[in-house]
Amino acid sequence: MTIQWFPGHMAKARRQVTEKLKLIDIIFELVDARIPLSSRNPMIDEIIQHKPRLVLLNKADMADKAITKEWVEFFAEQGIKAIAINSQAGTGMKEIVLEAQGILKDKFDRMKAKGVNPRAIRAMIVGIPNVGKSTLINRLAKKNIAKTGNTPGVTKAQQWIKVGKELELLDTPGILWPKFEDQEVGLKLALTGAIKDAILNLHDVAIYAIRFLEQNYPHRFKERFHIEEFPEDIIEFFNIIGKQRGCLLGKGEIDYDKVTELIIREIRTEKMGALSFERPGLISQQVITED
C-alpha cells in the first residue's frame, strides 16, 4: 500500500505559516494527544523557525491519561512546553493563556523596560487537518471575534480574535500536513480520523487496530468483544465479531466490510475507553501496559 504525500500541499502550508510568523509572538502547535508524533508535521521546527511555541495535546479526553502525562514530559525534555487540553469541552483554556505568558515573560519584560506599552500576546494556531483547530478557536473566541476589516484593494487584513485582554489569535489557523509516507503513521492517522477514510484501505486500518489492541489493551478488547483469547488468524477474529454483531450477508456469510466499519467506529467512539496509539520511546509496535 502506498500513500501519496503531496509536496505541493506542504509547500503551500509552509508559505502560509511563514508569511504570518512576523505577526505573532507564539505558535500554538495543536496535535492529537492519542498520536502526538504522527499528528505533527515532521518539518515543524524548520517551518516555525525560532518562534516560541506551546504544544497543545488536544482531544486529551480521548487519550490514555497516563500516556499523555508521559508525552508532556517527553516534550519538556526537549525544552518544549506541552499541555493537555480538550477543546470540545473547553478544558485547559486558561492554562493556554497562562503558559503563553510564562513562555513570553522575558520578551514582554524587555518590551516593558524599553517603555513599549503593554499589549496582548499574539498567537497563531497550527495543526494537521481535523486535529481540532476550529473547535479550539471557537472555544477561545466565545463571541470576541475582532473584525479588523477586509477592505477591497487593500492587502487582506488579518483578523484577530480577542481572548480576554491577554491574548489575540489569528482567526485563520495554519494547516500543516502530516507525513504519511510511513505506513504506520498513515494507519494511525486513519484510525483517529485525521485522514479521509477513502485514502486508506479500511481493512488494513481495522487489522492494524486489532493487532494494536491485542498487544496494548488486551483486557478492554476481550471484554468488549466477549472473547477469551485472540484467534491467531485475523479472519477468524472477523468471523467471530461478524457473527456476534450480526454483520452478515445473505446465507450467513460474514460481511467483512461491515465488521471493519464496526471495529473502527468502536475505537473512534471510545467504546473501549480512552486509548493512546503512541507512547514516547515506543513509537512503532509499542506496548502500552494496560492497567
Ligand X SMILES: Nc1nc2c(ncn2[C@@H]2O[C@H](COP(=O)(O)OP(=O)(O)OP(=O)(O)O)[C@@H](O)[C@H]2O)c(=O)[nH]1
Between 191 and 207, CB nearer to ligand X = 191
Nearer Cβ to ligand X (37/234): 37
> Closest distance between ligand X and the C-beta of residue 91, in Å?
8
What's the CA dihedral at 13, 14, 19, 25 to 10 degrees? 100
13 touching ligand X, by CB under 6 A: no
Using CB under 6 A as the binding rule, whether residue 62 contacts ligand X is answered as yes
Q: How far is CA 232 from the centre of its chain?
A: 32
Cell readout for 132 is 481540532
Of these, 86, 216, 260, 276, which contacts ligand X (CB under 6 A)?
86
Residue 132, annotated as binding a ligand: yes
- Residue 49 CA, chain-centre distance (Å), reads 21
* Alpha-carbon span 70 to 73, nearest angstrom: 5
Strand, helix or coil at 239? helix
Find the binder of ligand X among 39, 41, 87, 192 (CB under 6 A).
Answer: 87
- Residue 174 known to bind ligand: yes
Binding site annotation covers 134? Answer: yes
Least distance between ligand X and beta carbon 207 (Å) = 25
Part of the chain binding ligand X (CB under 6 A), chosen from 43-51, 58-66, 181-189, 202-210: 58-66
Neighbours of 153 (CB within 10 A): 4
Q: Does the annotation flag 59 for ligand binding?
A: yes
Closest residue by beta carbon to ligand X: 132
Residue 144 is a binding residue for ligand X (CB under 6 A): no
Instruction: Confirm whether residue 60 is marked as ligand binding.
Output: yes
How far apart, in whole angstroms, are the C-alpha atoms of residue 187 and residue 114? Answer: 51
Q: How far is the CB of 119 from ligand X (least distance, A)?
A: 27
Q: Is 90 annotated as a binding residue?
A: no
3-state helix, strand, coil in the chain (%, to 5): 45, 15, 40
Provide the strand spans (E) within 108-201.
121-127, 145-146, 160-163, 167-170, 174-175
Contacts with ligand X by CB under 6 A: the residue count is 16
Q: Is 86 annotated as a binding residue?
A: yes
Q: Which long-range contacts (CB under 8 A, 24 or more apart) does 213-218 make?
A: 213/267, 213/272, 213/275, 215/285, 215/287, 216/286, 216/287, 216/288, 216/290, 217/272, 217/275, 217/288, 217/290, 218/290
Q: Binding string to ligand X for residues 162 to 201, with x set by CB under 6 A, is what? A: -------------x--------------------------
Q: Which is nearer to ligand X, 65 or 243 (CB)?
A: 65
Nearest distance from C-beta of residue 170 to ligand X, angstroms:
14
Q: Cα 12 vs. chain centroid, distance in angstroms?
A: 20
Query: Residues interacting with ligand X, by CB under 6 A?
Result: 58-59, 61-62, 86-88, 127, 129-135, 175
Annotated binding site for GTP: 58-61, 86-87, 130-135, 174
